[in-house]
């Protein structure tokens, strides 16, 4: 908590709320978090220019904030780390520029990433709509800003789409979809996540986002996603994962073993319990779990609808593009 406060103090007042929204999980979704971190980077740069701050300090503050999110959010979602690294790539060179040119360079780099991310997201959404065009009832599990955009694009004039939304209780990631679905005009069925098996049997398909994925097709998403995958496999229901390639974690190719991030769910699950009851119960639960590629029909990326077990070459090629090796 002390480190949170130190990093937060580096931010302009106008974006401290964004920091809090990410740290306290008031806003969900890796893509949204990346956008918000980009806003923080730009705000630091602009405030530095307005105050005539040394360019070294502006760069160091941005790197400190970037490092914080890579080590916290990035531990759960490799997309956070990949995107931040792209936004601040070669930023140390800015220290050799004058303040005005340095600030322009920082903001330009951030904007370039934002434009690329939007283009990738649009392609993912378009491919996803194509995959779901014949479906009448679908399930979406846990909030993902990519899946949210897909639901908006699925608006139909000729027939209804029913969207079954489990509550995703470990992070309350189901409720966030309800507003979008109602605004678009979808029929909404909101269920406890314990009822996933019962209601998924009636669906034509299921769609989830991803915090990160491995080249072998393993996808990491909020706890409960593995149950969705298992039920889909059992009843031969297609499961699609919607994710831009920025979320790939290439490290397992070199022997990396992912350490699961765990949360204390005592407040979420037992806020009305007596203190003596809560004090003697373990509420620690993983935030994300891996979904085996054998349960996934395809991963939908900006490169197309790719069977989960065929992601390896695409992932490695994309990683080389990020590093500038191609």
- Asked whether residue 174 falls in the same domain as residue 318, the answer is yes
User: For the residues 22-42, what does the mean pLDDT come to?
Assistant: 89
Strand-pair partners of 213: 219, 248
User: For the residues 88-110, what does the mean pLDDT come to?
Assistant: 92
**CA 36 distance to own-chain centroid:** 12
- Asked whether residue 82 falls in the same domain as residue 180, the answer is no
Asked if the model's pLDDT at residue 232 lies above 80, the reply is yes
Return the axis-axis angle of helices 16-23 and 30-51, rounded to nearest 10°: 150
Of 94, 120, 146, which residue sits at a domain end?
A: 120
What is the percent of the chain with per-residue pLDDT over 90, rounded to a whole number?
69
In a domain, 166, yes or no: yes
Average pLDDT, the chain: 91
- Asked whether residue 215 falls in the same domain as residue 290, the answer is yes
Strand-pair partners of 53: none
Q: What is the pLDDT of residues 6-21, one digit of tens each?
A: 899 999 999 999 999 9
Strand-pair partners of 219: 213, 291
User: For the residues 190-198, what does the mean pLDDT come to?
Assistant: 94
Q: What is the pLDDT of residues 54-89, one digit of tens each?
A: 999 999 999 999 999 999 888 777 889 889 988 998
Asked if the model's pLDDT at residue 214 lies above 90, the reply is yes
- Asked whether residue 71 falls in the same domain as residue 150, the answer is no
- Asked whether residue 108 falls in the same domain as residue 181, the answer is no
193, 116, 196, 186: which is closest to 156 by C-alpha?
186
- Asked whether residue 226 falls in the same domain as residue 312, the answer is yes
The tokens describing 106, both together, are 């920082």
The CATH number linked to 148 is 3.40.50.10470
In a domain, 129, yes or no: no
Q: Which helix (H) or strand (E) holds 266?
A: helix 266-270
Q: Which helix (H) or strand (E) holds 307?
A: none
- Asked whether residue 88 falls in the same domain as residue 237, the answer is no
| pLDDT of the residue at 88 | 92
| pLDDT of the residue at 76 | 72
In a domain, 125, yes or no: no
User: For the residues 263-270, what does the mean pLDDT come to?
Assistant: 88
Q: Report the C-alpha dihedral over residues 49, 55, 56, 60, rounded to 10 degrees.
A: 40
| pLDDT of the residue at 325 | 58
The CATH number linked to 29 is 1.20.120
Of 76, 93, 120, which residue sits at a domain end?
A: 120
In a domain, 128, yes or no: no
Domain count within the chain: 2
The tokens describing 156, both together, are 């139909």
Q: What is the pLDDT of residues 111-143, one digit of tens each?
A: 999 899 999 999 999 999 999 999 999 999 988
**Residue 202 · residue 134 · CB < 8 Å:** no
Residue 51's domain comprises 2-120
Other CB atoms closer than 10 Å to residue 89's CB: what's the count? 14
The tokens describing 38, both together, are 């980009």
**Rounded CA separation 116/112 (Å):** 6
């Amino acid at each position: 908590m002390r480190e949170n406060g130190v990093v937060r103090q580096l931010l302009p007042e106008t974006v401290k709320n964004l920091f809090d929204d990410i740290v306290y999980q008031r806003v969900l979704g890796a893509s949204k978090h990346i956008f918000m971190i980009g806003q923080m980077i730009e705000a630091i740069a602009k405030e530095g220019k307005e105050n005539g701050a040394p360019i070294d300090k502006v760069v160091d503050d941005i790197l400190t904030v970037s490092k914080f999110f890579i080590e916290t959010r990035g531990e759960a979602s490799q997309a956070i780390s990949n995107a931040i690294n792209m936004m601040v790539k070669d930023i140390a060179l800015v220290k050799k520029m004058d303040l005005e040119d340095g600030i322009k360079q920082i903001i330009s780099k951030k904007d370039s990433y934002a434009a690329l991310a939007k283009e990738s997201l649009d392609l993912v959404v378009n491919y996803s709509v194509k995959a779901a065009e014949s479906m009448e009832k679908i399930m979406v599990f846990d909030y993902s800003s990519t899946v949210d955009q897909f639901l908006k694009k699925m608006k139909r004039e000729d027939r209804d789409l029913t969207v079954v939304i489990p509550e995703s209780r470990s992070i309350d990631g189901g409720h966030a979809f309800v507003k979008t679905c109602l605004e678009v005009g979808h029929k909404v069925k909101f269920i406890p996540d314990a009822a996933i098996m019962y209601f998924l049997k009636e669906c034509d398909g299921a769609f989830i986002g991803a915090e990160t994925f491995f080249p072998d097709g393993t996808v990491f998403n909020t706890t409960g996603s593995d149950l969705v995958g298992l039920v889909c496999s059992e009843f031969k229901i297609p499961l699609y994962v919607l994710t831009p390639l920025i979320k790939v974690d290439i490290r397992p190719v070199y022997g990396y073993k992912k350490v699961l991030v765990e949360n204390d769910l005592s407040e979420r699950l037992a806020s009305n319990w007596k203190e003596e009851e809560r004090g003697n119960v373990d509420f620690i639960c993983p935030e994300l779990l891996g979904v085996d590629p054998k349960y996934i029909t395809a991963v939908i990326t900006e490169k197309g609808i790719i069977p989960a077990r065929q992601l390896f070459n695409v992932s490695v090629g994309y990683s080389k593009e990020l590093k500038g090796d191609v």
